[in-house]
Amino acid sequence: MVGSDYHRHDCSTIVVFETDHRTKFMLWRPQTALLFLRQACRAQHFSAQYQVRRQWGGMAKVANRVCLIVIDGWGLSDESNGNAIKNANTPVMDGLCSGNWTQIEAHGLHVGLPEGLMGNSEVGHLNIGSGRPIYQDIVRINLSIKDNTLVKNEALVASCNRAKSGNGRLHLAGLVSDGGVHSHIDHLFALIKAIKQLGVPELYLHFYGDGRDTSPTSGVGFLEKTIAFIKEQNYCQLATIVGRYYAMDRDKRWERICVAYEAMIGGKGEATTVEEAPAVVKKRYAAQETDEFLKPIIINGDKARVKDGDTLIFFDYRADRMREISEVMGMERYKDCKSSLPHPKNLHVVGMTQYKAEFPFPALFPPLSNKNVLAEWLASQGLTQFHCAETEKYAHVTFFFNGGVEKQFENEERCMVPSPKVATYDLLPEMSSAGVADKMVEQIKSKKHPFVMCNFAPPDMVGHTGVYEAAVKACEATDKAIGRIFEACKENGYVLMVTADHGNAEKMKAPDGSKHTAHTCNRVPFTCSSKDFKFKKARILCLQETKSIFRTNFFVFFFSLPTALLLSAMWHRPFLL
């Protein structure tokens, strides 16, 4: 679904097929979704053997068992130089990718990361297991700014309304830089615009210097940029400048927090004007006092202090270094500061995100609830499942694949194969791929579980060593292990699906010839095979690569993502010849 309809209708559907003739089918009613899928398949010359075995509202009746393999670090690239995957002898994956396959984006916004950022194992497994992009906080904020919905943010509107109906005063406090680790200056500017648009009479800014995620003396540039923006908007007043060493402590050094607290509350610090503030900061630099350690600079005197009845919004999105200062401002923890200043009464505190579950104050972007991830849905239908990986990737097939849920779901069996104890994995590039394959083959032959899945670590873990020859061996060992599992799948009636969480081993050399050890932004494969069927001419696409959603009461999945076809394969034989 797209836009607000996705949130408003729990049972909305969009299904998009693209054929050689670029025909598209779209539907919005789940009651007829399966009928539509059957008709669409017939229209595109799929076999009449397409059968629906799912009884809506009841327990799942499995027509096919499914095996999902996630290869860690198996990206796609046409470049041969330094491509350990392309140059390895991998007949199994070559065969799987010769017909029944497609390519999937595994980086940036496609998987909920900032645009252009390479994927990683945690995010990859989280997205595959959830069947939808799980946006990080920074991405959610960026998107709200991009689509102009920040001004409609429920918690922001409520905070502004409170300020307007009260004393008319609202404060923003947070780290001002473009470091992007804890906050971003663009978020600050967007908030100022939104609060102005929402009509709050008085807005004050408490500026925390960075100097850790940015250059130690870059703060004056961010200060000048902020002052220029405030003048341009003719709105907001600078109130306090203080280093993150004081305002963003996380080690319970309350004496540090007290410095920032007393500056914001009582104006303790060096007084100056907004015009002179940059010069004051430069003088501090000359005295070896850099951004992180800036002692309080007070601007606009007493009127800009946090007072009784005010509203205070912290705009850092990372939680760990906001917990203490927000707790001091919003709860009884201010007593630990041992400050003689009276704490403001009836102070309304808001966080950009949820800084701690126990905190009573609201967040502009509360945590998303990853409901109905694949493992949870299978458990809710009374189906058993098996997750396997070696030690290095065990958390990825459990915690991350299960949507960030620590607990084991009902009827979920797990297996951890010990990773080899070597100094670096290039010394044993096959790692424990054979052991993982052993466990998977054993479970497949038992036919105990309708769903089994595993991770193969070698391409990624050996890829990180930068040793090209070892990475080639890692890919070959992984291919051999997949071949054993595929044979077991064919013999025991399992549909095999193979994908990857991100790229790595396909790029072992940098342009200058040096070792490349990082992940890549390359696409990854997705294959679907069994002895009974293969794809014909049509393929399933998603809107904007990963955004076409098929939603029911039980789960959400994205067409063209592994989870989608995995679930559909378990219900029925989706694309038979």
| Residue 164 buriedness (CB in 10 A; 0-12 / 13-18 / 19+) | middle
Residues 457 and 413 in one domain: yes
Task: With a cut of 60, say whether residue 179 has pLDDT above it.
Answer: yes
Last residue of a domain, one of 365, 390, 411: 365
Output phi, psi for 420, to 5 deg. Answer: -65, 145
| Residue 99 buriedness (CB in 10 A; 0-12 / 13-18 / 19+) | exposed
Query: pLDDT band at residue 534, thresholds of 50, 70 and 90?
Result: low
Residue 29 located in a structural domain? no
Q: How far apart are CA 573 and CA 561, in angstroms?
A: 17
Q: Which residues contact 174 (CB under 8 A, 6 or more apart)?
A: 182, 183, 188, 206, 208, 314, 315, 316, 322, 352
Last residue of a domain, one of 343, 365, 387: 365
Q: Report which listed range, 38-42, 368-372, 397-401, is most confident.
A: 397-401
Q: How far apart are CA 350 and CA 162, in angstroms?
A: 12
246-296 per-position pLDDT tens digit: 999 988 889 999 999 999 999 999 999 999 999 999 999 999 999 999 999
Q: Which residues contact 157 (CB under 8 A, 6 or more apart)?
A: 151, 198
Q: 44 vs 362, which has greater pLDDT?
A: 362
Residues 85 and 149 in one domain: no
Residue 8 located in a structural domain? no
Residues 119 and 157 in one domain: no
Residues 243 and 153 in one domain: yes
The structural domain count of the chain equals: 2
Residues 144 and 236 in one domain: yes
Tokens in use for 404? 């960030």
pLDDT at res. 322: 96
Residues 151 and 119 in one domain: no
CATH number of the structural domain spanning residue 71: 3.40.720.10
Catalytic site residue 121? yes
Encoded amino acid at 240, one letter: T
244 in Cβ contact with 209 (< 8 Å): yes
Q: Which of 499, 417, 412 is nearest to 450 (CA)?
A: 412
Residue 18 located in a structural domain? no
Residues 310 and 415 in one domain: no
Task: With a cut of 80, say whether residue 17 has pLDDT above it.
Answer: no
Residues 353 and 266 in one domain: yes
Residues 411 and 522 in one domain: yes
Output phi, psi for 48, to 5 deg. Answer: -70, -5
Residue 435 located in a structural domain? yes
pLDDT, averaged across the chain = 84
Residue 109 located in a structural domain? yes
CATH number of the structural domain spanning residue 271: 3.40.1450.10
Residues 353 and 457 in one domain: no
Catalytic residue chosen out of the listed positions 77, 80, 98, 121: 121
115 in Cβ contact with 135 (< 8 Å): no
Tokens in use for 162? 């409170």
Q: Distance between terminal CA atoms of the chain?
A: 30
- Does the predicted TM-score (pTM) go above 0.75? no
Residues 334 and 378 in one domain: no
Residue 11 located in a structural domain? no
Q: How far apart are CA 384 and CA 20, in angstroms?
A: 38
Residues 318 and 277 in one domain: yes
Residue 348 located in a structural domain? yes
160 in Cβ contact with 198 (< 8 Å): yes
Residue 83 located in a structural domain? yes
Half-sphere exposure of 139 (CA within 13 A, CB side): 17
Task: Residue 153: give the domain boundaries.
Answer: 138-365
Last residue of a domain, one of 304, 335, 365: 365
Half-sphere exposure of 409 (CA within 13 A, CB side): 26
